[in-house]
Amino acid sequence: MVRITETLIRQRAEHNNCEIFSLEEISLHQQEIERIEHVDKWCRDLKIVYFQNNLIPKIENVGRLKNLEYLNLALNNIERIENLDGCEFLKKLDLTVNFVGELTSVESLKHNVHLHELFLVGNPCCEFDGYRKFVIATLPQLKSLDGKEITRSEQIQALQDYPVVQQRVVEQQQAYILKRAKEKHALQKNLEEKENNKLDHGQNRENKQSNSNGEDDKDQKNVDEDEMNRKFWEEPTQYTPESRLEVHRHIEKIRKFKDKDKNWNKQKPRRTLITSEGRVLNVNEPKIDFTLTDDEENYQFILDLAVYRHMDTSLLDIDIQPTYVRVMVKGKVFQLVLPEEVKPDSSSAKRSQTTGHLLVTMLKTQEMVKAKPKSTSRTRSATSTKLHPHVTRTVQDSEKLEVDPSKHLSIDLSNIVTERKSVAQGPLKFHQQKVQERNSADFQDNPEVPPLMD
């Protein structure tokens, strides 16, 4: 049984931004609804309501809809017209193809002074002799009946023949009511017989199950269901509210059986966590947020998993491997591949009491050695005339003598011999020679070089 719920009404109120308090039109057709309820309390401003092609047996819970102008109840199981007195502005009522047999029930529409259109075609009362005259005379405010305009002369004639027509209609109506009572009794008896046959059939099937395997039982069950379905549609029956409801129940049962049979051996494919090549995949079945932090100072990874706050910790299962971490959240898999290998034995997990988050700490297998900051060094360069102008002295932590390999030292042996000869000739002559070299154009006076001592 399908009930009218607030969710259903909001889904049908998309054109009104899903607001139901100010809703003026709603369509609830083909919903397999078996009772009208709640609409007169939740949607007081309704003007147009569509209830066609459902299983509604009675008009009810619409009396508070004072602004209602059009009510469509075609293709339902309604047997009499009632409970529409409060619909003061009702202009159109559609009861096409129902089971209205109490034609005198149209007298309940006398207070609906604005009712101009009425549809009763397809109901048992339409077969009554004098049906149209009786309705026209009973409801003088009507302008159209079953889609046919009511003329002034037709209305006058109906009023003149009303006493005779009324008596005739009442007699036919009583005969119909007796007929319906017999139909209900026969249907009830037939239903009881079917229930007994089902019990016997079920007992026989249980006996066969004890002597057969599961596959044979399934095949036999399919054969039995097909046979029952064939007999149901071949069996003649009268068109009544009960038979229409029984057909609906049977169709629903067959549909559920087919859905169950379709999923009999159908198993949900297991999600691939690790491929056949051994590659671990990232999986987030519970669709929860997470954060993976690389704590370089402590050589560890910290996984912050936003687990549902009020979920019990017993529903969590943690599995830490060297290359990945897997957390089962209410049977759903969360798997994350780690950038580096970790030590599962040195890992830990804890739950936040405020946010409910799961914190998983995983220590890395290899600690990264940090490079020390480079110390500032001072470099000194000096030119020593005692060695050669191209010789450079560098001081960096410890003093070292470095020679530019791109330049070669050339020593003139002849000058050395001459210098030795000059020294041998005497100090005075050697001093005069040095003075001449100082005054020459090639001489460069370097203040850092100490003066020559005589």
- Checking if the pLDDT of 211 tops 50, the result is yes
158 and 59 within one domain: yes
Domain contains 198: no
End-to-end CA distance of the chain: 129
Domain for residue 440, yes or no?
no
Structure-block tokens of residue 57: 């047996």
Cβ–Cβ under 8 Å, residues 65 and 131: no
Query: What total number of domains does the chain contain?
Result: 4
How many residues in the chain? 454
The mean predicted confidence, pLDDT, of the chain is 79
Same domain as 355, residue 260? no
Q: Looking at the domain assignment, is residue 193 inside a domain?
A: no
Lowest mean pLDDT among 52-66, 101-115, 354-368: 354-368
Radius of gyration of the chain (CA): 52
Range of the domain at 234: 212-265
- What's the confidence (pLDDT) of residue 392? 41
Output 86 or 406, whichever has higher pLDDT: 86
Could you tell me if residue 416 is inside a domain?
Answer: yes
Structure confidence at residue 101 (pLDDT): 92
Residues 361 and 348 sit within 8 Å (Cβ to Cβ): yes
Tell me how far CA of residue 52 lies from CA of 78, 81, 444, in angstroms: 11, 15, 119
* pLDDT, tens digit (0-9, with 9 covering 90-100), for 351-363: 988 888 999 999 9
pLDDT for 66? 92
Residue 303 lies in a domain: yes
Whole-number pLDDT of residue 190: 79
Beta bridge partners of 359: 304, 350
Q: For residue 156, tell me if it sits in a domain.
A: yes
Q: Exposed, middle or buried: residue 386 (CB in 10 Å: 0-12, 13-18, 19+)?
A: exposed
Examine the domain organization and report whether 157 and 299 are in the same domain. no
- 396, 379 Cβ separation under 8 angstroms: yes
Domain boundary among 174, 190, 220: 174
Instruction: Inform me whether the pLDDT recorded for 48 exceeds 90.
Output: yes
Residue 376: the pLDDT is: 45
Q: 320, 336, 364 — which closes off a domain? A: 364
Q: Of the given ranges (138-147, 182-191, 342-351, 397-406), which has the lowest mean pLDDT? A: 397-406
Judged against a pLDDT cut of 90, whether residue 387 lies above it is answered with no
- 16 lies in the same domain as 163: yes
pLDDT value of position 273: 87
Are 254 and 291 members of one domain? no
Q: Is pTM, for the whole model, over 0.85?
A: no
- Residue 99: closest CA among 73, 132, 69: 73
The Cα angle at residue 221 between residues 217 and 223, in degrees rounded to 5 = 120
Q: What is the pLDDT of residue 390?
A: 43
Is residue 88 located within the same domain as residue 31? Answer: yes
**223 lies in the same domain as 339:** no
Same domain, 28 and 109: yes
> What is the arithmetic mean of pLDDT over 197-210?
56
Instruction: Examine the domain organization and report whether 167 and 231 are in the same domain.
Output: no
In this prediction, residue 65 carries a pLDDT of 93
Percent of the chain at pLDDT > 90 equals 44
Q: Select the more confidently predicted residue: 298 or 95.
A: 95
Q: Taking every pair of C-alpha atoms in the chain, what is the biggest distance, in angstroms?
A: 175
The residue out of 364, 393, 424 marking a domain boundary is: 364
Residues 32 and 167 reside in one and the same domain: yes
Whether the CB-CB separation of 282 and 292 falls below 8 Å is answered with no
Banded pLDDT at 122 (limits 50, 70, 90): very high
Q: Please report whether residue 274 resides in a domain.
A: no
Decide if 261 is inside a domain.
yes
Choice between 2 and 147, residue whose per-residue pLDDT is larger: 147
**d(Cα 113, Cα 168) in Å, to the nearest integer?**
26
What is the rounded CA–CA span in Å between residue 79 and residue 304? 64
Same domain membership, residue 23 and residue 144: yes
Per-residue pLDDT reduced to its tens digit, 87-104: 999 999 999 999 999 999
Best mean pLDDT range from 90-104, 206-220, 235-249, 309-323:
90-104
The per-residue pLDDT for 253 is 80
Q: Per-residue DSSP letters for 221-273?
A: HHHHHHHHHHHHHHS-----HHHHHHHHHHHHHHHHHHHHHHTSS--PPPPPS
pLDDT at 433: 59
Which CATH number is 55's domain given?
Answer: 3.80.10.10
Q: Are residues 112 and 39 in the same domain?
A: yes
CA geometry: angle 102, 104, 110, nearest 5 deg? 130
